[in-house]
Amino acid sequence: MDMIVTFPGNRKVDAEYRGHTIRTDQPVLGGGDGSAPAPFDYFLASIGTCSGIYVVDFCNKRGIPLDNIRIVQKVLRDQQKKMITGITIDIEVPSDFPEKYRESLIRVVDLCSVKKHILNAPSFEINVVSK
């Protein structure tokens, strides 16, 4: 399925994909209106939310409540290169979380497909075509 990207104004860029509109904008300091997350914010969120769905599935299969579980994703940056140098994913669980599942929870989050695609990056081909 193709993703269609359009430009609704100023620094906004929208993507239509699978019946959804993903709206993006740049922060005010970047010349945008700050009306939506920036594209890079979605990239970072895709890592955390992908990890999260694995936590949800793992806990649901074992009847573990998700009320007091959350993921805190930390990003390390090289300020000179303006690039990310590392990402830490902390799965915060309550003190009564079963000890026997801690390592398994790490392993299941390690299956995140977004992370796998980053580690095995696809090739890119960029073209200009007339319609």
Residue spans of the domains in the chain: they are: 1-37, 38-121
SS3 97: coil
pLDDT in tens, 32-87: 999 999 999 999 999 999 999 999 999 999 999 999 999 999 999 999 999 999 99
Instruction: Identify the DSSP state of 80.
Output: T
CATH architecture under which domain 38-121 falls: 2-Layer Sandwich (3.30)
pLDDT in tens, 90-100: 999 999 999 99
CB-based burial, 79-114: b 16+ in 10 Å, e otherwise: eeeeeeeeeebebebeeebeeeeeeebeebbeebee
Whether the model pTM is above 0.95? no
CA dist 60 → 13, 55, 95, 101, 122 (Å): 36, 8, 18, 13, 32
